[in-house]
């Protein structure tokens, strides 16, 4: 094989490597399904959306059934309004609940749909009535710490002034 043949093979190898990197970058950015397909939109209102981002997956039973299209703030109720695009192949009952969940302990957030039992299905433009906001890790840690501080400040002494440990250690007469 001549010098030109080797240079051509190296060029093809580099080109394939670059295409692979572009593919991985699109998958990491949740842009793998650029085509979109036929979808319908539904909305949900949350008190706190946490770190939810546009293009985050919408899942039910672990299966991706759509994507978050947009996130906005309702100026009157100060709630986060999440617009989702659901693939037309998936029809959900009107009483479907939406939760903002986290993939793993510190992973990305996504919307989980839990289908209800209503006979009527969601129509394009409907708003989900039952929602559960995101669990914010910082809030949980703050509640845990303030709960520990409150426990330490109260109930540390028995009614007669002794500590609970010393009161339990003394034998009753």
Dump pLDDT digits (tens) for 69-87: 999 999 999 999 999 999 9
Over range 88-111, report the average pLDDT: 88
Ramachandran area for residue 82 (φ above 0: left; ψ -120 to 50: alpha; else beta): beta
**Beta strands per DSSP E along the chain:** 39-46, 57-60, 63-73, 80-87, 97-102, 109-114, 127-128, 130-132
- pLDDT tens figures, 15-35: 999 999 988 887 776 555 544
The Cα 44–Cα 129 span in angstroms is 7
- pLDDT tens figures, 49-60: 988 999 999 999
pLDDT, position 92: 93
The Cα 68–Cα 74 span in angstroms is 17
What strand order describes the sheet that includes 39-46?
127-128, 39-46, 80-87, 63-73, 57-60, 109-114, 97-102, 130-132
Residue 154: pLDDT band (50, 70, 90) is low
Over range 94-114, report the average pLDDT: 88
**Percent of the chain with pLDDT strictly greater than 70:** 83
- What is the number of other CB atoms lying within 10 angstroms of the CB of residue 102? 18
| Sign of the alpha-carbon torsion through 132, 113, 127, 52 | positive
Domain edges within the chain: 39-138
Q: 9 or 143: whose pLDDT is higher?
A: 9
- What is the number of other CB atoms lying within 10 angstroms of the CB of residue 15? 10
Tokens 């109260």 belong to which residue?
154
Residue 151: pLDDT band (50, 70, 90) is confident
The Cα 152–Cα 136 span in angstroms is 25
- pLDDT tens figures, 109-140: 899 999 989 899 999 999 998 998 887 777 77
Asked if residues 27 and 68 have their Cβ atoms less than 8 Å apart, the reply is no
């Amino acid at each position: 094989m001549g010098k030109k043949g080797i240079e051509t093979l190296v060029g093809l190898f580099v080109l394939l490597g670059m295409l692979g990197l572009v593919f991985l970058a699109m998958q990491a950015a949740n842009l793998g399904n650029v085509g979109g397909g036929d979808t319908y939109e539904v909305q949900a209102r949350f008190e706190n959306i946490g770190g939810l981002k546009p293009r985050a997956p919408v899942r039910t039973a672990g299966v991706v059934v759509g994507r978050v299209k947009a996130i906005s703030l309702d100026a009157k109720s100060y709630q986060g309004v999440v617009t989702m695009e659901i693939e037309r192949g998936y029809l959900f009952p009107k009483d479907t609940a939406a939760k903002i969940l986290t993939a793993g302990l510190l992973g990305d957030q996504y919307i989980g749909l839990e289908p209800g039992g209503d006979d009527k299905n969601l129509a394009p433009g409907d708003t989900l009535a039952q929602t559960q906001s995101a669990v914010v890790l910082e809030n949980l840690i703050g509640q845990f710490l303030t709960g520990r501080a409150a426990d330490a400040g109260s109930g540390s002494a028995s009614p007669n002034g002794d500590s609970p440990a010393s009161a339990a250690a003394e034998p009753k007469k």
